[in-house]
A and B are shown apart, each in its own frame.
Chain A
Amino acid sequence: MIPVCLLVELPRGEAYRLDIDPPVSVFHTDDGEVFAIDDTCTHQDASLADGWLEGCEVECPLHASKFDLRTGAVDAPPAKRPVRTHEVFVVDGMIYVQPSTEAPNLPPCIAARLAGEPA
Protein backbone atom coordinates (compact mmCIF):
# COMPACT_ATOMS: atom_id res chain seq x y z
CA MET A 1 0.00 0.00 0.00
CA ILE A 2 1.20 3.46 -0.84
CA PRO A 3 0.50 6.36 1.53
CA VAL A 4 -1.07 9.32 -0.28
CA CYS A 5 -1.86 12.15 2.12
CA LEU A 6 -4.03 12.89 5.12
CA LEU A 7 -7.73 12.93 4.33
CA VAL A 8 -8.02 16.39 5.90
CA GLU A 9 -5.40 17.66 3.45
CA LEU A 10 -7.59 16.71 0.48
CA PRO A 11 -10.73 18.86 0.47
CA ARG A 12 -13.92 17.60 -1.13
CA GLY A 13 -13.99 18.29 -4.86
CA GLU A 14 -10.19 18.10 -5.08
CA ALA A 15 -7.72 15.59 -6.45
CA TYR A 16 -4.21 14.55 -5.46
CA ARG A 17 -1.76 13.27 -8.06
CA LEU A 18 0.43 10.47 -6.79
CA ASP A 19 3.70 10.53 -8.71
CA ILE A 20 4.25 6.83 -9.15
CA ASP A 21 4.74 5.20 -12.56
CA PRO A 22 2.22 5.41 -14.11
CA PRO A 23 0.77 8.21 -11.95
CA VAL A 24 -2.43 7.70 -9.97
CA SER A 25 -4.95 10.36 -9.00
CA VAL A 26 -6.94 10.23 -5.81
CA PHE A 27 -10.27 12.07 -5.79
CA HIS A 28 -12.30 13.24 -2.82
CA THR A 29 -15.84 13.67 -4.13
CA ASP A 30 -18.33 16.26 -3.00
CA ASP A 31 -20.19 13.42 -1.27
CA GLY A 32 -17.10 12.59 0.78
CA GLU A 33 -16.04 9.40 -0.98
CA VAL A 34 -12.43 8.76 -1.97
CA PHE A 35 -11.47 7.00 -5.22
CA ALA A 36 -8.20 6.29 -7.02
CA ILE A 37 -7.78 5.82 -10.77
CA ASP A 38 -4.92 6.07 -13.24
CA ASP A 39 -4.11 9.74 -13.69
CA THR A 40 -3.39 9.64 -17.42
CA CYS A 41 -6.30 9.85 -19.85
CA THR A 42 -6.38 6.81 -22.15
CA HIS A 43 -6.74 9.08 -25.21
CA GLN A 44 -3.86 11.53 -24.84
CA ASP A 45 -1.30 12.60 -22.29
CA ALA A 46 -3.50 14.60 -19.91
CA SER A 47 -3.65 14.50 -16.11
CA LEU A 48 -7.11 13.58 -14.87
CA ALA A 49 -6.26 15.17 -11.52
CA ASP A 50 -6.56 18.46 -13.45
CA GLY A 51 -10.00 17.42 -14.70
CA TRP A 52 -13.57 18.43 -13.91
CA LEU A 53 -14.91 16.41 -10.99
CA GLU A 54 -18.69 16.09 -10.89
CA GLY A 55 -20.34 13.46 -8.74
CA CYS A 56 -18.47 10.22 -9.31
CA GLU A 57 -17.12 11.25 -12.69
CA VAL A 58 -14.07 13.16 -13.79
CA GLU A 59 -13.90 14.87 -17.17
CA CYS A 60 -10.53 14.95 -18.89
CA PRO A 61 -9.20 18.54 -18.86
CA LEU A 62 -8.39 18.44 -22.58
CA HIS A 63 -11.02 16.64 -24.60
CA ALA A 64 -14.02 16.04 -22.37
CA SER A 65 -14.13 12.25 -22.08
CA LYS A 66 -15.57 11.38 -18.68
CA PHE A 67 -14.33 8.53 -16.52
CA ASP A 68 -16.37 6.86 -13.78
CA LEU A 69 -14.29 6.91 -10.60
CA ARG A 70 -15.97 3.73 -9.33
CA THR A 71 -15.40 1.55 -12.38
CA GLY A 72 -12.88 3.43 -14.55
CA ALA A 73 -15.33 3.23 -17.47
CA VAL A 74 -15.30 5.99 -20.06
CA ASP A 75 -18.59 7.50 -21.19
CA ALA A 76 -17.81 9.00 -24.58
CA PRO A 77 -15.09 9.75 -27.13
CA PRO A 78 -12.41 10.65 -27.83
CA ALA A 79 -11.16 8.18 -25.18
CA LYS A 80 -12.34 4.63 -25.85
CA ARG A 81 -10.66 2.55 -23.17
CA PRO A 82 -11.24 2.65 -19.39
CA VAL A 83 -8.69 3.73 -16.82
CA ARG A 84 -7.68 1.30 -14.08
CA THR A 85 -9.17 1.77 -10.65
CA HIS A 86 -7.15 1.23 -7.50
CA GLU A 87 -8.24 0.21 -4.03
CA VAL A 88 -8.31 3.00 -1.48
CA PHE A 89 -8.04 2.64 2.29
CA VAL A 90 -8.34 5.36 4.90
CA VAL A 91 -6.56 4.33 8.09
CA ASP A 92 -6.29 6.71 11.04
CA GLY A 93 -7.08 9.65 8.77
CA MET A 94 -4.41 8.67 6.25
CA ILE A 95 -5.29 7.76 2.64
CA TYR A 96 -3.56 4.70 1.18
CA VAL A 97 -3.73 3.28 -2.34
CA GLN A 98 -3.23 -0.35 -3.32
CA PRO A 99 -2.13 -0.13 -6.97
CA SER A 100 -3.91 -2.41 -9.40
CA THR A 101 -1.93 -5.29 -10.84
CA GLU A 102 -3.70 -5.05 -14.21
CA ALA A 103 -1.92 -3.61 -17.22
CA PRO A 104 -2.68 0.11 -17.62
CA ASN A 105 -4.44 1.52 -20.71
CA LEU A 106 -1.94 4.22 -21.58
CA PRO A 107 -2.54 6.59 -24.50
CA PRO A 108 -0.74 5.73 -27.77
CA CYS A 109 1.82 8.53 -27.39
CA ILE A 110 2.97 7.31 -23.96
CA ALA A 111 2.75 3.63 -24.83
CA ALA A 112 4.98 4.32 -27.84
CA ARG A 113 7.47 6.20 -25.68
CA LEU A 114 7.61 3.36 -23.15
CA ALA A 115 7.99 0.77 -25.90
CA GLY A 116 10.94 2.75 -27.27
CA GLU A 117 12.79 2.67 -23.96
CA PRO A 118 15.41 0.03 -23.28
CA ALA A 119 14.09 -2.61 -20.91
Chain B
Amino acid sequence: MRAVAVVGASLAGLSAARSLRKQGYDGRLVVIGDEPHRPYDRPPLSKEFLAGEIGEADLALEPDDEDLQAEWLLGARATGLDSAHRAVRLADGREVRADGIVIATGATARRLPGTDGLAGVHTLRTLDDARALRDELALGGRLVVIGGGFIGAEVASTAYALGLDVTVVEAAPTPLAGPLGETMGGVVSALHADHGVRLLCGVGVKGLSGETRVDAVLLEDGRTVPADIVVVGVGAHPCVEWLQGSGVVLDNGVKCGADGRTSLAAVVAVGDCASWYDPHVGVHRRVEHWTGARERPDAAVATLLSGGAAEPGAPRPPYFWSDQYGVKIQFAGHAAGADSVTVEQGAPGDRSFLAVYRRAGHPVAVLAMNQPRVFMRWRKQLAATPS
Protein backbone atom coordinates (compact mmCIF):
# COMPACT_ATOMS: atom_id res chain seq x y z
CA MET B 1 0.00 0.00 0.00
CA ARG B 2 1.58 3.28 -1.12
CA ALA B 3 -1.06 5.91 -0.46
CA VAL B 4 -3.77 6.07 2.17
CA ALA B 5 -6.43 8.77 2.41
CA VAL B 6 -8.10 9.34 5.75
CA VAL B 7 -11.35 11.19 5.12
CA GLY B 8 -12.19 13.02 8.33
CA ALA B 9 -9.81 15.01 10.54
CA SER B 10 -11.38 14.72 13.96
CA LEU B 11 -10.60 12.19 16.69
CA ALA B 12 -11.36 9.09 14.59
CA GLY B 13 -9.38 10.36 11.59
CA LEU B 14 -6.42 11.48 13.69
CA SER B 15 -6.44 8.17 15.58
CA ALA B 16 -6.45 6.31 12.26
CA ALA B 17 -3.50 8.36 11.01
CA ARG B 18 -1.63 7.59 14.21
CA SER B 19 -2.50 3.89 14.02
CA LEU B 20 -1.20 3.77 10.44
CA ARG B 21 2.19 5.13 11.47
CA LYS B 22 2.28 3.07 14.66
CA GLN B 23 1.57 -0.09 12.70
CA GLY B 24 4.47 0.61 10.37
CA TYR B 25 2.80 2.16 7.33
CA ASP B 26 5.38 4.53 5.81
CA GLY B 27 3.75 5.52 2.53
CA ARG B 28 1.89 8.68 1.52
CA LEU B 29 -0.75 9.71 4.05
CA VAL B 30 -3.39 12.32 3.24
CA VAL B 31 -5.83 13.52 5.89
CA ILE B 32 -8.89 15.31 4.53
CA GLY B 33 -11.08 17.43 6.81
CA ASP B 34 -14.10 19.57 5.94
CA GLU B 35 -13.56 21.90 8.90
CA PRO B 36 -10.66 24.36 8.57
CA HIS B 37 -9.27 23.38 12.00
CA ARG B 38 -6.59 20.95 13.07
CA PRO B 39 -8.06 18.02 15.03
CA TYR B 40 -9.66 19.21 18.24
CA ASP B 41 -11.44 17.63 21.17
CA ARG B 42 -15.23 17.92 21.06
CA PRO B 43 -16.35 16.84 24.57
CA PRO B 44 -15.28 20.13 26.20
CA LEU B 45 -17.35 22.12 23.67
CA SER B 46 -20.47 21.65 25.80
CA LYS B 47 -18.61 21.93 29.09
CA GLU B 48 -15.33 23.72 29.96
CA PHE B 49 -14.97 25.47 26.60
CA LEU B 50 -18.57 26.68 26.58
CA ALA B 51 -18.11 27.87 30.16
CA GLY B 52 -15.03 29.86 29.13
CA GLU B 53 -12.77 27.87 31.49
CA ILE B 54 -10.49 26.66 28.72
CA GLY B 55 -9.53 28.15 25.39
CA GLU B 56 -9.10 26.88 21.86
CA ALA B 57 -5.46 25.94 22.34
CA ASP B 58 -6.54 23.55 25.11
CA LEU B 59 -8.76 21.68 22.66
CA ALA B 60 -5.92 20.65 20.34
CA LEU B 61 -5.60 16.88 20.06
CA GLU B 62 -2.05 17.00 18.74
CA PRO B 63 0.96 17.68 20.93
CA ASP B 64 3.27 20.39 19.53
CA ASP B 65 6.00 17.91 18.67
CA GLU B 66 3.84 15.38 16.84
CA ASP B 67 4.59 14.88 13.17
CA LEU B 68 2.74 12.10 11.40
CA GLN B 69 4.35 12.93 8.04
CA ALA B 70 0.86 13.49 6.65
CA GLU B 71 -0.52 15.92 4.09
CA TRP B 72 -3.41 17.77 5.67
CA LEU B 73 -6.16 18.99 3.36
CA LEU B 74 -8.31 21.05 5.71
CA GLY B 75 -11.41 23.00 4.78
CA ALA B 76 -11.80 20.41 2.02
CA ARG B 77 -15.09 18.55 1.97
CA ALA B 78 -15.23 15.13 0.37
CA THR B 79 -18.08 14.89 -2.12
CA GLY B 80 -17.58 11.48 -3.63
CA LEU B 81 -15.69 8.22 -3.65
CA ASP B 82 -14.78 6.83 -7.04
CA SER B 83 -14.12 3.21 -6.17
CA ALA B 84 -13.06 2.20 -9.68
CA HIS B 85 -10.26 4.79 -9.71
CA ARG B 86 -9.64 4.69 -5.97
CA ALA B 87 -10.12 8.42 -5.68
CA VAL B 88 -11.77 10.74 -3.19
CA ARG B 89 -13.39 13.72 -4.88
CA LEU B 90 -13.34 17.04 -3.05
CA ALA B 91 -15.81 19.92 -3.22
CA ASP B 92 -13.22 22.18 -4.87
CA GLY B 93 -12.77 19.73 -7.75
CA ARG B 94 -9.54 18.15 -6.55
CA GLU B 95 -9.12 14.40 -6.40
CA VAL B 96 -7.02 12.39 -3.98
CA ARG B 97 -5.92 9.00 -5.30
CA ALA B 98 -5.21 6.33 -2.70
CA ASP B 99 -4.88 2.53 -2.48
CA GLY B 100 -6.40 2.51 0.97
CA ILE B 101 -9.19 4.67 2.34
CA VAL B 102 -10.29 5.28 5.91
CA ILE B 103 -13.77 6.79 6.17
CA ALA B 104 -14.03 8.93 9.30
CA THR B 105 -16.46 11.66 8.31
CA GLY B 106 -18.36 11.66 11.58
CA ALA B 107 -21.84 12.93 12.14
CA THR B 108 -23.66 16.21 11.91
CA ALA B 109 -26.13 17.69 14.37
CA ARG B 110 -29.80 17.34 13.48
CA ARG B 111 -31.61 20.63 13.10
CA LEU B 112 -35.24 21.58 13.54
CA PRO B 113 -36.88 21.91 10.14
CA GLY B 114 -37.73 25.47 9.20
CA THR B 115 -35.44 27.16 11.72
CA ASP B 116 -32.48 27.96 9.47
CA GLY B 117 -31.69 31.64 9.43
CA LEU B 118 -33.49 32.43 12.69
CA ALA B 119 -30.99 34.18 14.96
CA GLY B 120 -30.47 32.77 18.43
CA VAL B 121 -31.00 29.14 17.37
CA HIS B 122 -28.00 26.88 17.79
CA THR B 123 -26.80 23.34 17.40
CA LEU B 124 -23.57 22.20 19.02
CA ARG B 125 -21.18 19.92 17.21
CA THR B 126 -18.24 21.93 15.93
CA LEU B 127 -15.81 24.47 17.30
CA ASP B 128 -17.53 27.17 15.26
CA ASP B 129 -20.89 26.15 16.78
CA ALA B 130 -19.38 26.36 20.26
CA ARG B 131 -17.82 29.78 19.66
CA ALA B 132 -21.16 31.16 18.48
CA LEU B 133 -23.10 29.67 21.38
CA ARG B 134 -20.50 30.73 23.96
CA ASP B 135 -20.69 34.33 22.75
CA GLU B 136 -24.49 34.35 23.06
CA LEU B 137 -24.58 32.65 26.46
CA ALA B 138 -22.25 35.34 27.74
CA LEU B 139 -25.06 37.85 27.19
CA GLY B 140 -27.35 35.94 29.57
CA GLY B 141 -31.10 35.61 29.33
CA ARG B 142 -33.50 32.72 28.89
CA LEU B 143 -32.18 29.54 27.31
CA VAL B 144 -34.43 26.76 26.09
CA VAL B 145 -32.70 23.47 25.30
CA ILE B 146 -34.64 21.20 22.97
CA GLY B 147 -33.67 17.62 23.76
CA GLY B 148 -32.76 16.20 27.15
CA GLY B 149 -29.94 13.93 25.93
CA PHE B 150 -26.32 14.29 27.00
CA ILE B 151 -25.46 17.30 24.81
CA GLY B 152 -28.64 19.09 25.86
CA ALA B 153 -28.11 18.29 29.53
CA GLU B 154 -24.48 19.42 29.45
CA VAL B 155 -25.38 22.69 27.75
CA ALA B 156 -28.15 23.23 30.32
CA SER B 157 -25.71 22.56 33.14
CA THR B 158 -23.08 24.93 31.73
CA ALA B 159 -25.63 27.67 31.05
CA TYR B 160 -27.07 27.29 34.53
CA ALA B 161 -23.59 27.80 36.00
CA LEU B 162 -23.22 30.92 33.83
CA GLY B 163 -26.38 32.30 35.43
CA LEU B 164 -28.92 31.83 32.65
CA ASP B 165 -32.55 30.91 33.18
CA VAL B 166 -32.72 27.42 31.68
CA THR B 167 -35.56 25.18 30.50
CA VAL B 168 -35.07 21.73 28.95
CA VAL B 169 -37.79 20.29 26.71
CA GLU B 170 -37.77 16.56 26.05
CA ALA B 171 -40.24 14.78 23.78
CA ALA B 172 -39.92 11.41 25.52
CA PRO B 173 -41.49 10.78 28.95
CA THR B 174 -37.98 10.30 30.43
CA PRO B 175 -34.74 11.82 29.13
CA LEU B 176 -31.82 9.46 28.45
CA ALA B 177 -34.10 6.41 28.54
CA GLY B 178 -32.40 5.15 25.38
CA PRO B 179 -28.84 4.98 26.64
CA LEU B 180 -29.59 4.51 30.36
CA GLY B 181 -33.04 2.91 30.60
CA GLU B 182 -36.14 4.50 32.14
CA THR B 183 -35.14 4.19 35.80
CA MET B 184 -31.63 5.59 35.55
CA GLY B 185 -32.62 8.08 32.87
CA GLY B 186 -34.94 9.49 35.51
CA VAL B 187 -32.22 9.50 38.16
CA VAL B 188 -29.66 11.28 35.98
CA SER B 189 -32.09 13.83 34.56
CA ALA B 190 -33.20 14.68 38.12
CA LEU B 191 -29.94 16.68 38.28
CA HIS B 192 -31.79 19.46 36.44
CA ALA B 193 -34.40 19.82 39.19
CA ASP B 194 -31.67 19.76 41.87
CA HIS B 195 -30.50 23.06 40.45
CA GLY B 196 -33.83 24.64 39.63
CA VAL B 197 -33.54 24.01 35.91
CA ARG B 198 -37.03 23.33 34.48
CA LEU B 199 -37.43 20.00 32.69
CA LEU B 200 -40.55 19.56 30.56
CA CYS B 201 -40.96 15.93 29.47
CA GLY B 202 -43.33 14.08 27.19
CA VAL B 203 -44.04 17.09 25.05
CA GLY B 204 -42.87 17.71 21.53
CA VAL B 205 -41.86 21.00 19.94
CA LYS B 206 -44.27 22.38 17.34
CA GLY B 207 -42.00 25.16 16.22
CA LEU B 208 -40.18 28.35 17.11
CA SER B 209 -41.54 31.85 17.04
CA GLY B 210 -39.72 35.04 16.14
CA GLU B 211 -39.27 37.27 13.10
CA THR B 212 -35.53 37.51 12.64
CA ARG B 213 -34.57 36.28 16.10
CA VAL B 214 -36.17 33.50 18.11
CA ASP B 215 -38.40 34.69 20.96
CA ALA B 216 -40.18 31.52 22.07
CA VAL B 217 -40.46 27.77 21.70
CA LEU B 218 -43.98 26.57 20.86
CA LEU B 219 -44.90 23.22 22.37
CA GLU B 220 -47.31 20.71 20.92
CA ASP B 221 -49.58 20.94 23.97
CA GLY B 222 -50.14 24.63 23.22
CA ARG B 223 -47.72 26.05 25.75
CA THR B 224 -45.26 28.78 24.79
CA VAL B 225 -41.84 28.92 26.44
CA PRO B 226 -40.19 32.35 26.06
CA ALA B 227 -36.59 32.10 24.86
CA ASP B 228 -33.68 34.43 24.06
CA ILE B 229 -31.48 31.53 22.98
CA VAL B 230 -32.45 28.05 21.79
CA VAL B 231 -30.14 25.06 21.58
CA VAL B 232 -31.35 22.13 19.52
CA GLY B 233 -29.85 18.91 20.87
CA VAL B 234 -31.83 16.22 19.12
CA GLY B 235 -29.10 13.89 17.99
CA ALA B 236 -26.86 13.57 14.97
CA HIS B 237 -26.93 11.77 11.68
CA PRO B 238 -23.91 10.18 10.02
CA CYS B 239 -22.12 12.16 7.30
CA VAL B 240 -22.24 9.54 4.56
CA GLU B 241 -24.18 11.27 1.78
CA TRP B 242 -20.91 11.67 -0.11
CA LEU B 243 -20.67 7.88 -0.37
CA GLN B 244 -23.96 7.45 -2.24
CA GLY B 245 -23.33 5.47 -5.41
CA SER B 246 -19.77 4.56 -4.41
CA GLY B 247 -20.56 0.92 -3.75
CA VAL B 248 -19.95 1.32 -0.01
CA VAL B 249 -23.02 -0.22 1.63
CA LEU B 250 -24.79 2.24 3.90
CA ASP B 251 -27.30 1.42 6.61
CA ASN B 252 -27.52 4.06 9.33
CA GLY B 253 -23.92 4.97 8.51
CA VAL B 254 -21.27 2.88 6.82
CA LYS B 255 -22.03 -0.78 7.40
CA CYS B 256 -18.88 -2.42 8.76
CA GLY B 257 -17.69 -5.78 9.96
CA ALA B 258 -16.37 -6.35 13.48
CA ASP B 259 -12.94 -5.32 12.17
CA GLY B 260 -14.02 -2.08 10.48
CA ARG B 261 -14.09 -3.46 6.91
CA THR B 262 -16.73 -2.05 4.57
CA SER B 263 -18.31 -3.68 1.54
CA LEU B 264 -15.36 -2.46 -0.59
CA ALA B 265 -11.87 -3.91 -0.37
CA ALA B 266 -9.22 -1.59 1.12
CA VAL B 267 -11.87 0.76 2.49
CA VAL B 268 -12.52 0.82 6.25
CA ALA B 269 -14.68 3.10 8.38
CA VAL B 270 -14.36 4.38 11.95
CA GLY B 271 -15.98 6.80 14.36
CA ASP B 272 -19.49 8.26 14.44
CA CYS B 273 -20.19 7.54 10.75
CA ALA B 274 -19.50 3.81 11.08
CA SER B 275 -21.95 1.11 12.08
CA TRP B 276 -19.77 -1.76 13.30
CA TYR B 277 -20.96 -5.32 13.68
CA ASP B 278 -21.08 -6.26 17.33
CA PRO B 279 -20.35 -10.00 17.56
CA HIS B 280 -21.63 -10.22 21.13
CA VAL B 281 -25.17 -9.35 20.21
CA GLY B 282 -25.17 -10.12 16.50
CA VAL B 283 -26.26 -6.66 15.30
CA HIS B 284 -24.68 -3.61 13.72
CA ARG B 285 -24.37 -0.61 16.00
CA ARG B 286 -23.40 2.94 15.26
CA VAL B 287 -21.82 4.09 18.51
CA GLU B 288 -21.26 7.84 18.82
CA HIS B 289 -18.79 7.68 21.69
CA TRP B 290 -15.49 9.44 22.02
CA THR B 291 -13.79 6.24 23.18
CA GLY B 292 -14.97 4.32 20.13
CA ALA B 293 -13.51 6.97 17.83
CA ARG B 294 -10.29 6.75 19.79
CA GLU B 295 -9.94 2.97 20.07
CA ARG B 296 -11.47 1.40 16.99
CA PRO B 297 -9.11 2.88 14.39
CA ASP B 298 -6.40 0.50 15.68
CA ALA B 299 -8.44 -2.49 14.55
CA ALA B 300 -9.63 -0.86 11.32
CA VAL B 301 -6.10 0.09 10.32
CA ALA B 302 -4.87 -3.45 11.07
CA THR B 303 -7.62 -4.67 8.74
CA LEU B 304 -6.63 -2.18 6.05
CA LEU B 305 -2.90 -2.96 6.20
CA SER B 306 -3.37 -6.72 6.32
CA GLY B 307 -5.93 -6.83 3.54
CA GLY B 308 -8.50 -8.11 6.00
CA ALA B 309 -6.38 -10.92 7.42
CA ALA B 310 -5.98 -9.35 10.88
CA GLU B 311 -8.02 -10.92 13.63
CA PRO B 312 -9.93 -8.21 15.45
CA GLY B 313 -9.40 -8.28 19.20
CA ALA B 314 -12.47 -8.44 21.40
CA PRO B 315 -13.89 -4.91 21.54
CA ARG B 316 -14.11 -3.32 24.95
CA PRO B 317 -17.61 -2.46 26.14
CA PRO B 318 -18.63 0.99 24.91
CA TYR B 319 -17.77 3.64 27.47
CA PHE B 320 -18.82 7.25 27.78
CA TRP B 321 -18.83 9.97 30.38
CA SER B 322 -20.70 13.17 30.99
CA ASP B 323 -20.21 16.07 33.40
CA GLN B 324 -23.33 17.83 34.59
CA TYR B 325 -23.77 20.23 37.49
CA GLY B 326 -20.41 19.18 38.92
CA VAL B 327 -21.38 15.49 38.87
CA LYS B 328 -19.20 12.97 37.02
CA ILE B 329 -21.41 10.49 35.16
CA GLN B 330 -19.84 7.35 33.66
CA PHE B 331 -21.44 4.51 31.75
CA ALA B 332 -20.10 1.33 30.15
CA GLY B 333 -21.83 -1.51 28.33
CA HIS B 334 -25.29 -1.75 26.80
CA ALA B 335 -28.38 -0.90 28.83
CA ALA B 336 -30.72 -2.16 26.13
CA GLY B 337 -31.58 -5.75 26.83
CA ALA B 338 -30.95 -5.51 30.57
CA ASP B 339 -33.80 -6.93 32.66
CA SER B 340 -32.72 -5.45 35.98
CA VAL B 341 -30.75 -2.53 37.34
CA THR B 342 -29.63 -2.42 40.96
CA VAL B 343 -27.77 0.19 42.97
CA GLU B 344 -24.74 -1.54 44.47
CA GLN B 345 -22.85 1.35 46.00
CA GLY B 346 -23.90 4.71 47.42
CA ALA B 347 -27.35 6.18 46.89
CA PRO B 348 -28.90 7.95 43.88
CA GLY B 349 -30.33 10.58 46.23
CA ASP B 350 -26.76 11.54 47.21
CA ARG B 351 -25.79 11.84 43.52
CA SER B 352 -23.00 9.40 44.32
CA PHE B 353 -23.70 5.79 43.43
CA LEU B 354 -22.98 2.86 41.16
CA ALA B 355 -25.69 0.79 39.49
CA VAL B 356 -25.27 -2.51 37.66
CA TYR B 357 -27.48 -3.57 34.75
CA ARG B 358 -28.02 -7.30 34.37
CA ARG B 359 -29.58 -9.62 31.89
CA ALA B 360 -30.56 -13.03 33.24
CA GLY B 361 -28.32 -12.31 36.22
CA HIS B 362 -25.30 -11.50 34.07
CA PRO B 363 -23.84 -7.93 34.25
CA VAL B 364 -24.18 -6.11 30.91
CA ALA B 365 -23.69 -2.45 31.85
CA VAL B 366 -22.68 -0.20 34.68
CA LEU B 367 -23.54 3.41 35.53
CA ALA B 368 -21.88 5.61 38.11
CA MET B 369 -22.20 9.09 39.47
CA ASN B 370 -19.10 10.43 41.22
CA GLN B 371 -17.66 6.94 41.75
CA PRO B 372 -14.70 6.72 39.35
CA ARG B 373 -12.78 4.15 41.37
CA VAL B 374 -15.54 1.57 41.75
CA PHE B 375 -16.71 2.29 38.24
CA MET B 376 -13.29 1.40 36.81
CA ARG B 377 -13.33 -1.93 38.63
CA TRP B 378 -16.73 -2.75 37.19
CA ARG B 379 -15.72 -1.60 33.74
CA LYS B 380 -12.75 -3.97 33.87
CA GLN B 381 -15.00 -6.78 34.99
CA LEU B 382 -17.42 -6.12 32.12
CA ALA B 383 -14.53 -6.23 29.66
CA ALA B 384 -13.32 -9.53 31.08
CA THR B 385 -16.73 -11.15 30.70
CA PRO B 386 -18.30 -9.52 27.68
CA SER B 387 -22.04 -9.80 27.40
Contacts and interface: CB of A to CB of B under 8 A. Distances in A.
A80 B57 CA distance: 12
B187 interface: no
Interface string B117-138: 0000000000000000000000
Contacts of B62: 80
B1 to A, nearest CB: 23
A61 B375 contact: yes
Interface residues of B, number: 27
Contact of A62 (B18, B60, B372): B372
A78 interface: yes
A51 B196 CA distance: 34
**Is the interface on chain A under 10, 10 to 19, 20 to 34, or 35 or more residues?**
10 to 19
Contacts of A62: 321, 328, 330, 372
B232 to A, nearest CB: 26
Among A64, A77, A80: residue with most chain B CB under 10 A? A77
Contact of B376 (A51, A63, A76, A108): A51
Majority secondary structure, A binding face: loop
Interface in B284-323: 290-291, 294-295, 319, 321
Interface string B354-387: 0000000000000000001101100110000000
Nearest to A80: B63
Nearest to B54: A108
B275 interface: no
Contacts of A51: 376
Contacts of B15: 76
Interface string A46-61: 1100111000000001
B95 interface: no
Interface string B256-286: 0000000000000000000000000000000
Nearest to A77: B61
A79 to B, nearest CB: 10
A46 B53 CA distance: 17
Contacts of A76: 15, 18, 294
Contacts of B375: 61
A9 to B, nearest CB: 18
Given A64-B291, A64-B319, A109 B376 contact: no
Among B15, B61, B290, B376: residue with most chain A CB under 10 A? B376
Contacts of B165: none
Interface of B: 11, 14-15, 18, 41, 43, 53-54, 58, 60-63, 290-291, 294-295, 319, 321, 328, 330, 372-373, 375-376, 379-380
Given A51-B376, A63-B290, 14 more contacts: A50-B372, A52-B376, A61-B373, A62-B328, A64-B295, A64-B319, A76-B18, A76-B294, A77-B11, A77-B294, A78-B43, A78-B61, A80-B61, A80-B62
